[in-house]
Every structure is written in C-alpha cells, then in structure tokens.
A and B are shown apart, each in its own frame.
Chain A
C-alpha cells in the first residue's frame, strides 16, 4: 500500500515538475550541451524593441524555414512578443486570413479577384498588404550514382517528367551532356502528391518553355496519373534520396547532398542559385491596379536571363487591425522582415533570394503604411 502511494506521489511530482518548470529560452539555457550558446547574431535580429503580445500567422509551408528564422530574430529582440506560424498550406492560410482567424498569412499564389475583395472587407478601413518577401529557386534534384550535376534542356526535362524519356542513357540526355558517362538505368520521376505552389511553378515553367513536350496546363496538382510521389518538399527529397535513378523538384534550400540539374538555355547551363533567382524577380514587373500596398509580381520566366524556376511566395497582412496593439506588432514584425537584417536571416536559414533594390524600396514603402493613421 505504502509503496503504491509512493509511486503515485512520485508520478504526480514528475508530472508537476514536467509541466511547471520549463524554459522558453533554449539558446542561453545553462543546461545546453556545450555550454550556454550565443544568441542569434545581432546582424540578423530586429533592433531591440518593446513589442508585446501574440501575433498569429498561418499559410504556405514553403515559407516555414524563413518564417522560423524571422520569428526567432524578432522574438530575440522583443522578449515580450510571441509570433506563431502554422505551416498549414497556402489555401488554409488565405482562408484563415480572410476569416480573421490569423493576422498574417503566407501564400504561394496571390489573392484572386474575389479573395482580394474579401480581403479588403476584412482589412477595412485599412488596406490589404501583399508582399513578395519570399523568393526561392526550385531545384531539379536527382540521385544517380557518381553524377552530381547534369544539364538538361527544357524539352528534355519535360520529356523526363512526362514519361517520354524513360532511361538515363537516352540520346536526348546524352546530347545535353556531352562527355558524361550516363548509366543504363530507368528514370523514376518523383512529383509532389499534394497540391502545391511548387508544382504550379514547375508545371508553369514546363508549359511555357517546352509546350511541345509538355502539353498540360499549369496546375498545382500533378497532371499525370501514377508514378512516384510524396508529400511536401522534404517528402520529395527523401523519396529521391531513397531511390536510384530518381529525379524530382524541390525548394533549392532543401536539396542537401542530392545532385542538381542546371537548366540549359541556349549554350549556357544555369544552375539554381539565390542570385539567379533574384535576377528573375528583379526583371519581373509588378501587377498594376492592386493598390500601393499590394505588390504582386508578374513573373516573366522567358525574358529573364536568370534561373527561370523560381517560387515567389507572399506575406498577407493589413495596414490596420481592430486592435492597435496588433497593428503595432504587425508593423514591427514586417519592418524587421523587410529590413536587411531580416533578409540576411532568411538567406542564411532558407536560401531566400535577396530583394532587388527597386522592389525593396516599394516593399519598405508598403510596410511603412502599416499602422499609419489615415
């Protein structure tokens, strides 16, 4: 009996301590292995502030890594503030933002006309803020023994993913890669099984650059039936890494140790890189007539000399919220994200392409309008 009571009491004490004493400061916690580490370098955090309260965001999973870096940098400078970001997907993020469930949203596709009207109603009397804060190259990754870099023309790439080019030693691939010993292996293309902005970007590129080899309309869902597929960027990367002779497409920052494909345009082969992606973003005009705070890019993949496979993801917000504290918090957070420190943090964490100077000025201008009393 006594032993049983002791055990019960012990369990209760365990639960109590487990829930009662915990630290929200993992970086400088004394128990941290290797000693209490240094916090995030000041060049990447927001300027010290006294913002307090909770800010809720949700949306595209593509932005998750960058958002985590931004949240960390912002919270480090504002210990009283808690920012959360649910990576539930673009559609969910937009819906929740329109419902007023979250203050911020991330989305891979800009608001359409209906959604823009709903968003204006949600933000009234403020404006809708739509900022292209996340631009990241999408890499075509492959796992092929002994091959780390391959060049493919858009038509060959489309053929590989459409299933018309089925072996690695096919003449089309050999023609793009003179001098490379290609193995006699079947090609296993891997696509995203969930609807995603990455798939939409990829199919839009194929449809634009190789319409003969890729007769499908751009879509967030993979247009072909069957074949290897996986959920999410990391699922695709994992599947490509688990197989042999596999090829897939994923956010370049997650490509890790896999081989990548350089896209052959004319004589040049352009590999995926943040700089090449930035060049494309810089060359893309902003869609007019959406208001000064809504900066939606018209991506011009054909014209740019940059890397054409770029995913641009937007951050949605309002210039004013019902609650002044939320407005201030959003203003402070967005100012940090658009600042050099914020862009540096995202580049470090997620390989995000830096904002081009021209676009940056417009973004900063839009951010400055948040919280501005009109």
Chain B
C-alpha cells in the first residue's frame, strides 16, 4: 500500500497540522499518476502474456516444420504404405490424405448446415421449449467423449448393416456428432453479437424476417461463423480414437466412403508413433531406425498444412459473402 506514491503523499498530508487541501492541479494530476502506472503495468502484463504464450506455440510450429520437412517430399505425398514394413526407407501418406479429406469433408457437409441452422433457430426463433431443449442438449453434446461418439456411430451402422461395418461414412457420422455442438455454440455466439439495430433497420424497411436473417444477420456474422466452423473442423480433423473404431486402418488407397476401411492422417500419426523406433540389424541396408517417428512428424506437418489451406479457403469464402467486401 505504502509503496504507491500517491497514497503515501496523501497519508503524510493527513497527519500534517495544517490542511490546505489539494489544489485543482493536484486533483487532476495526482490520481492520474497512479492510473497511468496501472495502465502501464497492465500494458506490460498483457504484452507479457502474449510473449509467454508465444514461446510454446512457436516452438510447436517450429518443431513440426523442422522435423516434418525432413521426410516430406512429392514421393511421400504420392504413395501409400502398401508393402512397406519394418524400417524400410519408403512409403507415404497418400492413402491417409485421401481418407482425411473425404471423411472430414463428409462430416462437415452434414454438421455445418445442421449446426448453423440450429443456431439460427436458437437466436432468431428460440423462445419455446424446443429452443430451451436444444440449448441444453447442445451443452450435453459437447461432453460426449470422442471415443463414445465413435462407438455410437459404430453401433448405429452395425444395427443397420450388420456387425463389423468399417467404412468412411461411419467415421463421418462420428465426426459430425462431435462437430455439431461446436458449430452451434460458436455460431450462436456470433449471431448474438449482431447489433439489434441492424435487425430492426431491416425489419423496418419491410424485409421479411427470414430474409433479414439470411441477408443481414448471417452475412454480418459470416466471419465469426467461419472461424467457428474452422475450429470445429480442426477439432475433428485430429480425432483419432473414433476413427480407429469406425474406419479402421489399411495401408492401401481407398477412395470410396461407403466401402472398406480407410486410413486417415491422425490415425496414421498415432499408429506410426505407437510403432516407435525400429531396431535395425547392422546387415540391413534399407533400414532407418527412426523412420516411423519421421513419418509421424511429416504426416503431422501435412495435417497442419491441410488445415491451414482449409482455413485460407474458408476465409476467402467468408470474404466473398461478407457484406463490406462485396462492393
């Protein structure tokens, strides 16, 4: 307390026999000194928080890029793992890229429209019991452990098509279950931020309510919605456990979502990590001890770049629909 100069001065003056009272000038400047100090301190704290947080994040990106680039090559992207085993200095992730794009894409195709529309329902129409129930159950859905979502999708398809169904579409359903609550919650948040004046202005001009929602609310919130969708995609694109249960693993390329197992990037990364170091005998020439971990890092880099590309694409789309850029 006493360390604060302004307060110390004030305390000293209080015990002085004569109290002339602060001058106007003092009144204006004295508290300011303390306030300025707080302001400066907070600036340091905020900047410091930023700097501290950047350390692990930058190191993460750096490590993934540095370790991943070692093995990354056009060859690595173009081939699958068919016929590759042990410490062979060969193999790639084409099958995993195909699988991830197809499964995540299918999941997003289901989850984004459902999620955004449900959020619209909550914000624009939501007063009744259905809205309350949806709010409540979306909260519940965020708590579904990912492996449980996988088990659910597996059980659902086993019920419909018989046991042992392994295909991309099952994984897509599991991922959609995980995506929907994230899309709903972030979209809802963004829609609520759209100023009421905009809605009222549009309605006052005689625009029907639904057109107001489509043309004003959704377009105004487009940037935020896209950010939310990207977060949702990012959440599910790295999901491993549900895909392991529903899509399985395979080392050949499969482009059919509705037939047979598929490899996906996160499962590939996890499998390679789990296989760990390869013990090479000295007489084996075609053997790299760290090949599995190298492949895992390279696949991680590809996954990150893939998400980055998706992100950029989404931004382009958002900017196209966002009102200000249109004219």
- Chain A interface (Cβ < 8 Å from any Cβ of B): 4, 7-8, 11, 14-15, 18-19, 21-27, 29, 31-34, 37, 39-40, 54, 56, 58, 61, 64-65, 68-69, 71-72, 75-76, 82, 84-88, 96, 99-102, 232-235, 237-238, 253-257, 348-351
Contacts and interface: CB of A to CB of B under 8 A. Distances in A.
8 contacts: A11-B313, A19-B98, A22-B95, A23-B79, A23-B94, A29-B78, A56-B261, A234-B273
Contacts of B90: 26-27, 32, 37
B47 interface: no
Contacts of B82: 24-26, 72, 75
A54 B83 contact: no
Interface string B66-99: 0000000111011111111110111110110110
Contacts of B37: none
A237 to B, nearest CB: 6
A4 B276 contact: no
B79 A25 contact: yes
A251 to B, nearest CB: 10
A31 B73 contact: yes
A87 B271 contact: yes
A255 B276 CA distance: 11
Contact of B163 (A25, A31, A84, A101): A101
A71 B73 CA distance: 25
Given A54-B260, A71-B251, A8 B316 contact: yes
A130 to B, nearest CB: 20
A33 B313 CA distance: 32
A65 B275 contact: yes
A31 B86 contact: no
Contacts of B319: 4
Contacts of A24: 79-80, 82, 95, 252-253
B10 interface: no
Contacts of A18: 77, 97-98, 101
Interface string B250-263: 11110100001100
A71 B164 CA distance: 21
Interface of B is mostly: loop
Given A24-B253, A26-B91, A19 B97 contact: yes
Q: Which of A7, A32, A64, A257 has the most CB of B within 10 A?
A: A32
B251 A84 contact: yes
B279 interface: yes
B131 interface: no
Contacts of B251: 68, 71, 84
B73 A33 contact: yes
A69 B284 CA distance: 15
B313 A69 contact: no
Nearest to A29: B79
B85 A86 contact: no
Nearest to A22: B94
Given A7-B316, A33-B73, A254 B85 contact: no
A40 B286 contact: no
A69 B249 contact: no
A254 B276 contact: yes
B126 interface: no
Contacts of B165: 101
B248 A26 contact: no
Contacts, number: 156
A358 B244 CA distance: 39
Given A25-B82, A26-B90, A56-B164, 13 more contacts: A22-B79, A22-B98, A24-B79, A24-B82, A24-B252, A26-B82, A26-B91, A27-B90, A68-B85, A72-B82, A88-B244, A234-B277, A255-B279
Contacts of B162: 100
B276 A233 contact: yes
A14 B97 CA distance: 12
Nearest to B247: A86
B86 A84 contact: no
Contacts of B219: none
Interface in B140-168: 162-166
A11 B286 CA distance: 36
A121 to B, nearest CB: 14
A22 B86 contact: no
Contact of A56 (B166, B244, B253, B279): B166
Contacts of B79: 22-26, 29, 31-32
- The 8 A-B residue pairs whose C-beta atoms are closest, nearest first, are A101-B164, A234-B276, A22-B94, A68-B85, A26-B79, A31-B75, A99-B163, A84-B250
Q: Which of B95, B162, B261 has the most CB of A within 10 A?
A: B261
A19 B75 contact: no
B279 A254 contact: yes
Nearest to B79: A26
Contact of A23 (B80, B89, B275): B80
A349 B83 CA distance: 13
Contact of B277 (A29, A31, A256): A256
A56 B261 CA distance: 9
B222 to A, nearest CB: 15
B309 A11 contact: yes
A234 B78 contact: no
Contacts of A4: 316, 319-320
A354 to B, nearest CB: 16
A121 B322 CA distance: 62
Contacts of B164: 56, 96, 99-102
Interface in B108-127: none
A19 B260 CA distance: 17
A75 to B, nearest CB: 6
Given A4-B320, A29-B75, A102-B164, A349 B85 contact: yes
B84 A256 contact: no
B86 A69 contact: yes
Nearest to B319: A4
Nearest to B276: A234
A87 B261 CA distance: 13
